[in-house]
């Protein structure tokens, strides 16, 4: 009887805690929505929990601002984030498969080298990266935001751990005996097995690329090539007399919509991938 009461208490406590955490997470989205519906003058008056009537006005002001290419910025971010997610997951999975399925002399050295790059901050190599892309003629273009995604140590390690727990080498050997070429084996046998892990990392890579501000701020100068985070910073950086907080909140609201949609439609892959892709003990 006591055990049953304790179990009921734990269930109620867990549900209450989840409700509180959910409220804390969703509250900030609600406040963002409320602020996007208020005018600059109303926002200067202070906090309000009730929506205003300037939602479409703020949206129209952002879209029709000739000095602020919102639609082009969203398209740029979609191209960069989509391409980065695609090449990052594919080549990381290919690298993980190579180190997992093949035995060669420098296998441990290669793995250690990749893991060493994982702990290296992006800021350390920023100036060298900027000089390199300038010499290659890629300054002020979207290519430097996409191509480096090929090498992602964090995604590689996740893929490698997933392969350790999900791909028996006997399956690869059987494919080789049947005459399957290596790339065919990877593309038609290994990739379908890795689908949950690829989906998870595609989501995280997409979101990370979408929110990335540091690298685009280094290499992008033209307004028609700017991504969403730079455009938001451009709005916030306006002088006080020209700053419109309603437009800023509306732009942030628009910027998070693709990310929210990605999580809503692909959340089941996150759960499946995290569950199945754990490091094998």
CATH of the domain at 155: 1.10.3720.10
pLDDT given for residue 277 in this prediction: 46
Report yes or no: 165 and 279 within 8 Å, Cβ to Cβ.
yes
Residues 11 and 138 in one domain: no
For the chain, the domain total comes to: 2
pLDDT given for residue 14 in this prediction: 86
Q: What is the mean pLDDT of residues 228-243?
A: 75
Residues 231 and 94 in one domain: yes
Q: Is residue 245 part of a domain?
A: yes
Q: Is residue 281 part of a domain?
A: no
Instruction: Give the range of the structural domain holding residue 169, as residue numbers without chain letter.
Output: 60-276
Residues 10 and 39 in one domain: yes
Which pTM value belongs to this model? 0.81
Q: Taking the C-alpha atoms of 43, 48, 49 and 51 in order, what is their torsion angle to the nearest 10 degrees?
A: -50
| 165-190 tens-digit pLDDT | 888 888 888 888 888 888 888 888 88
Considering 73-77, 120-124, 256-260, the range whose residues carry the highest mean pLDDT is: 73-77
pLDDT given for residue 96 in this prediction: 92
For residue 208, give the nearest of 200, 218, 220, 219 by alpha carbon. 200
For residue 163, give the nearest of 239, 102, 223 by alpha carbon. 102
Report yes or no: 232 and 70 within 8 Å, Cβ to Cβ.
no
Report yes or no: 73 and 226 within 8 Å, Cβ to Cβ.
yes
pLDDT given for residue 238 in this prediction: 60
Residues 68 and 48 in one domain: no
Residues 202 and 229 in one domain: yes
| 32-70 tens-digit pLDDT | 889 889 888 888 888 888 888 888 888 888 887 767 788
Count of other CB atoms within 10 angstroms of residue 179? 7
Report yes or no: 161 and 197 within 8 Å, Cβ to Cβ.
no
Residues 236 and 265 in one domain: yes
């Amino acid at each position: 009887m006591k055990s049953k009461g304790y179990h009921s208490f734990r269930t109620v406590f867990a549900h209450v805690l989840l409700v509180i955490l959910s409220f804390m997470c969703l509250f900030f989205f609600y406040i963002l929505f409320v602020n996007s519906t208020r005018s600059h003058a109303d926002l200067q008056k202070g906090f309000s929990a009730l929506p205003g009537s300037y939602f479409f006005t703020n949206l129209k002001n952002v879209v029709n601002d000739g000095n602020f290419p919102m639609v082009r910025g969203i398209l740029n971010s979609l191209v960069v984030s989509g391409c980065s997610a695609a090449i990052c997951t594919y080549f990381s999975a290919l690298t993980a498969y190579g180190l997992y399925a093949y035995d060669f002399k420098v296998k441990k050295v290669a793995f250690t080298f990749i893991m060493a790059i994982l702990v290296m901050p992006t800021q350390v190599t920023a100036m060298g990266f900027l000089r390199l892309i300038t010499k290659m003629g890629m300054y002020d273009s979207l290519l430097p935001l996409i191509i480096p995604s090929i090498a992602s140590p964090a995604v590689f390690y996740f893929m490698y751990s997933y392969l350790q727990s999900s791909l028996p080498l006997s399956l690869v050997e059987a494919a080789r005996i049947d005459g399957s070429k290596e790339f065919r084996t990877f593309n038609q046998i290994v990739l379908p097995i890795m689908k949950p892990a690829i989906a998870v990392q595609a989501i995280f890579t997409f979101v990370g690329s979408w929110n990335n501000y540091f690298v685009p701020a280094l290499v992008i100068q033209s307004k028609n090539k700017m991504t969403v985070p730079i455009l938001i910073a451009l709005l916030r950086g306006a002088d006080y007399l020209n700053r419109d907080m309603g437009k800023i909140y509306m732009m942030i609201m628009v910027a998070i919509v693709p990310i929210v949609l990605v999580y809503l439609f692909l959340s089941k892959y996150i759960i499946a991938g995290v569950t199945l892709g754990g490091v094998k003990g």
